[in-house]
Amino acid sequence: MSVQVYFEDVQEGTELPVLRKDPTTQQLVMYAGASGDFYQIHYDQDFARANGLPTVIIHGALKNAFLGQLVTDWVGEHGTVKKLTVQYRGMDEPGTPVYCKGVVTKTSLEDGAGLVECDIWLEDHQGKKTTPGSAVVALPLRAG
């Protein structure tokens, strides 16, 4: 369990701890089974290549889940994710690491809640942002 982050601990420019993921083709097959997304570009090498891809690619929704983990891990047990959005702008391949990152862009107190807006994104192993997004979270106040 991570240490609880409080509203008073963050400001614009605060970086979220980087979350490294090492997706495998086995994980893609497991995700396909769990999500019901059996599009062959995610697990069938020949099918992916026949459709102009160099190899199978990671499910977009799985990348969304990775970014969701980044945010939920960061806000801790007493934080709440209010909104999370992503855009799929590039393809990522299993067998190479991807990095979930984020930075605080705005903080505000509204109705006694500490709201924090963040830019979040997933980068491939070459540093290219393939999945940009944003999140709004409520962090607890130290005073309760």
Q: What integer is the mean pLDDT of 58-79?
A: 97
Q: 2 pLDDT exceeds 80?
A: no
Query: Domain for residue 42, yes or no?
Result: no
- DSSP states along the chain: -PPPP-GGG--TTPBPPPEEE---HHHHHHHHHHH----GGGT-HHHHHHTT-SS----HHHHHHHHHHHHHHHH-TT-EEEEEEE---S---TTS-EEEEEEEEEEEEETTEEEEEEEEEEE-TTS-EEEEEEEEEEE--TT-
Query: Domain for residue 51, yes or no?
Result: no
8-18: pLDDT as tens digits:
999 999 999 99
Give backbone dihedrals phi and psi of 98, rounded to 5 degrees, phi first: -125, 155
Query: Domain for residue 53, yes or no?
Result: no
Query: Domain for residue 47, yes or no?
Result: no
21-41: pLDDT as tens digits:
999 999 999 999 999 999 999
Q: Which residues span the domain enclosing 123?
A: 7-23+59-139
Q: First-to-last CA distance in the chain?
A: 21
Structure-token pair, residue 57: 């690619």
Q: 1 pLDDT exceeds 70?
A: no
Strands 80-86 and 98-110: unpaired
Chain length of the chain: 144
Query: Domain for residue 123, yes or no?
Result: yes
For the entire predicted model, the pTM comes to 0.94
The total domain count for the chain is 1
pLDDT of residue 107: 98
Domain at 132, CATH number = 3.10.129.10
